[in-house]
Chain A
């Protein structure tokens, strides 16, 4: 799985740093470094929905508040089902 988080100006102001840091911690805490690749990108052109992120080809709108929920549901949940 590959998560790409936008680190452009607009998403930065909306908290992409906190999102990235939470994801980094969560991935390490659950030992998922092998399964999940975390990367950054500049503007995805969806600034109004920021923090923009993609999980493989799926588009998500994250915030520092919903990151944990997103991780549990869309990453751990999907990995567990595999």
Chain B
């Protein structure tokens, strides 16, 4: 066991005019070991519904079988036997790329007919040692490397290397071009999701916003674990204040305090002054405050509600990134800490009912707070973070 973990991001562009994407990405943890992850990118033959079914089946079957510890040979023959045969072309076909992270120590990469996975180490392209195996007459490439901090694996479907063919480029955006482009910014500290967005936006641009093929980018970034702690809400029993705070502050990593009353309790516990700032960088979000020894102090429900909006967008289109990536309001700061910096997040949730918030005229109440925290935790889990919730 080391202190590395994987940050995984992926997104697809649909071929122009298609409602469904013919590429699929599936991420699962190995059943008996949550430190081992399986990422499958499959590209189904053709486009639209048919391709979508082929790639979804391929990605799901491989991910599930590998999660249960089965051999790649078994996976491939299962897929060949299961996929429906295309009536036009007479074949059942979907290409795939598998990145299997073992104990966060090694990566095994298995590829069939997709553009080869790109490994950037210390920001520079590294050739993967590859062997070829034949399974059911298919040539399958297999590589294994031990992981290092800041390794970036980029898997793409062929839509990416064909971006711009005949439009802006003669031969498309070849693998070498993608490598050259990625090397320039992969070390800046962007998350896997943001790296994905940058690459995919470039593909879309080269296609002139009219993708000629389904295009998928999947980035796996190996990084150090970064614990983060967030407390929101006073405990149900006021006598539990110092218990809650001492558990919270004894944890390794940064500390975020959300909520007016909560921050007063935190300030009392630390015997420090609570200084609210009277600045409104975002008119919607209440100001932040400072307490010596706390990394960030914000208001509660309104701020967290905004963070949740950002989290949902981050998992979908990632369009708000331009806002929260540098803004100074409380919600943007929490978003940066939770989405970008943290890998393991401990939530300390106080269940006290704030009498002032029970006013029916106000759009906030106790159940909303609980729901916000639950939904935020769900989103963060989807981002691949380890989440622990403790209630007081």
Contact = CB atoms under 8 A, between A and B. Distances in A.
Given A38-B278, A40-B276, A42-B274, A8 B286 contact: yes
Nearest to A18: B283
Interface in A37-79: 38-43, 45-48
A13 B363 CA distance: 9
B357 A10 contact: yes
Nearest to A13: B362
Interface string B280-317: 10010011010000000001111000000000000000
A60 B289 CA distance: 23
B131 interface: no
Interface in B346-392: 354, 356-357, 359, 362-364
The interface residues of chain B, by DSSP majority, are classed as loop
A13 B299 contact: no
Contacts of B289: 40, 42
B130 to A, nearest CB: 56
A12 B302 contact: yes
A14 to B, nearest CB: 8
Contact of A10 (B264, B274, B287, B356): B356
A44 to B, nearest CB: 9
Nearest to B278: A40
B277 interface: yes
Instruction: Indicate the size class of the contact surface on chain B.
Output: 20 to 34
Contacts of B259: 9
A7 B278 contact: yes
A10 B280 contact: no
Interface residues of A, number: 22
B366 to A, nearest CB: 12
Nearest to A12: B286
Contacts of A47: 356-357, 359
Contacts of B264: 42-43
Q: Which residue of B283, B289, B301, B356 has the most chain A CB atoms within 10 A of its CB atom?
A: B356
B253 to A, nearest CB: 24
Contacts, number: 67
Contacts of A17: 280, 283, 286
Q: Which residue of B264, B278, B280, B302 has the most chain A CB atoms within 10 A of its CB atom?
A: B278
A21 interface: yes
A43 B278 contact: no
A67 to B, nearest CB: 14
A17 B261 CA distance: 19
A2 to B, nearest CB: 13
Given A21-B280, A42-B274, A9 B363 contact: no
Given A8-B286, A10-B357, A13-B363, A43 B276 contact: no
A21 to B, nearest CB: 7
Contacts of B261: 42-43
B95 interface: no
Contacts of A43: 260-261, 264, 354, 356
B356 A48 contact: yes
B235 to A, nearest CB: 16
Contacts of A5: 278
Given A12-B299, A40-B287, 13 more contacts: A7-B299, A9-B260, A12-B286, A12-B302, A17-B280, A20-B280, A24-B278, A38-B278, A40-B289, A41-B276, A43-B356, A46-B356, A47-B359
Interface of B: 259-261, 263-264, 274, 276-278, 280, 283, 286-287, 289, 299-302, 354, 356-357, 359, 362-364
Counting from the closest, the 10 A-B pairs by CB-CB distance are: A42-B260, A47-B356, A40-B276, A43-B260, A8-B260, A12-B286, A40-B278, A17-B280, A7-B286, A9-B301
13 contacts: A7-B276, A8-B286, A8-B299, A9-B364, A10-B357, A13-B363, A17-B280, A17-B283, A24-B278, A40-B278, A42-B261, A42-B289, A48-B356
